[in-house]
Amino acid sequence: MLTFTDQLNRKIHLDAPPKRIISLVPSQTELLYDLGLREEVVGITKFCIHPEEWFRSKTRVGGTKQYHIDRIAALQPDLIIGNKEENEKAQIENLMQQYPVWMSDIYTIEDALQMIVQIGEVVQKKEVATQLAQETRNALQTLPSAEGLRVAYFIWRNPYMVAAKNTFIHEMLEACGFQNCFSEQQRYPEIDIATLQATAPDIVFLSSEPYPFKKQHILELQKSLPDTHICLVDGEVFSWYGSRLLKSRAYLRRLIEESRGVLD
């Protein structure tokens, strides 16, 4: 019997190393691939777009909030991997009655690095996972700093919503040296244009997810913020907390350098 503790401090018991894994979280699906798993992962969600070969070939069991229980049952999983925020509580609790379910709970970068190592242990890839976590920590610590730049990070439109404190996005902004204009608020508050203008951000980031902001939305906001630099950013870089963190090093470096140029 193998016993592991997940990030909800729950004990997970496995009869043997898992060979039929379902991942219900896109960033953790990508992590499993980058840890070296292949046929061991039998099911993913429709939002697990990385790696593309898995998106095209693996059985999709639904979204991150709604699953096809019959598809999950047909796959006969010996481990399901989920996340407290991204998955729906009642459905996860239902799955827990039938299968071993390992849950992550991530708010900070350290939470993410811990998750990488812990999942590595569960899937028998501890050495690779430990190295990945350390390389990721080093990469984030050696980024140039955007210190002095005040940023508003948009995740939604109609109504406008931004990332505030107690979110992984906020942690990523701080890791890059950006000052979050909404750090005094919690989670994902709704804001209006007057509130945005009052915060006077140097930069507005329009994320590619969950709302797919486009170039026309830059023009829409620029009318109200003529002196603010507004740009589109890759939402996966700021909200995917698996191996995408290390892959994003070059993107973050370039974004920080371009952002610093705004004040020059």
Domain map (residue ranges) of the chain: 2-139, 150-263
pLDDT value, residue 221: 96
CA distance 44 to 78: 14
CA distance 246 to 93: 32
pLDDT value, residue 263: 63
Per-residue model confidence as pLDDT tens for the chain (264 residues)? 899 999 999 999 999 999 999 999 999 999 999 999 999 999 999 999 999 999 999 999 999 999 999 999 999 999 999 999 999 999 999 999 999 999 999 999 999 999 999 999 999 999 999 999 999 999 999 999 998 899 999 999 999 999 999 999 999 999 999 999 999 999 999 999 999 999 999 999 999 999 999 999 999 999 999 999 999 999 999 999 999 999 999 999 999 999 988 766
Q: Give the Å distances, CA to CA, from 188 to 184, 191, 197.
A: 12, 9, 18
CATH of domain 2-139: 3.40.50.1980
Q: Which residues pair with 147 in a beta bridge?
A: none
The per-residue pLDDT for range 48-74, each reduced to its tens digit, is 999 999 999 999 999 999 999 999 999
Query: What tokens were used for 34?
Result: 């980058």
All residues at 6 or more sequence positions from 194 whose CB lies less than 8 Å from its CB, including other chains: none
CA distance 100 to 97: 8
| Residues counted in the chain | 264
Q: Which residues pair with 23 in a beta bridge?
A: 81
pLDDT value, residue 264: 60
The per-residue pLDDT for range 73-109, each reduced to its tens digit, is 999 999 999 999 999 999 999 999 999 999 999 999 9
**Contact yes or no for 14/124 (Cβ under 8 A):** no
Percent of the chain with pLDDT over 70: 99
pLDDT value, residue 44: 98
The domain defined by 150-263 folds into: Rossmann fold (3.40.50)
Instruction: Output helix, strand, coil percentages for the chain, rounded to the nearest 5.
Output: 40, 20, 40
Secondary structure (DSSP) of 161-221: EE--BSSHHHHHHHHTTPEETTTTSBSS-B--HHHHHHH--SEEEEESSSS---HHHHHHH
Q: Residue 73, Cβ neighbours under 10 Å: how many?
A: 12
CA distance 94 to 198: 45
| 2-139 matches 150-263 in fold | yes
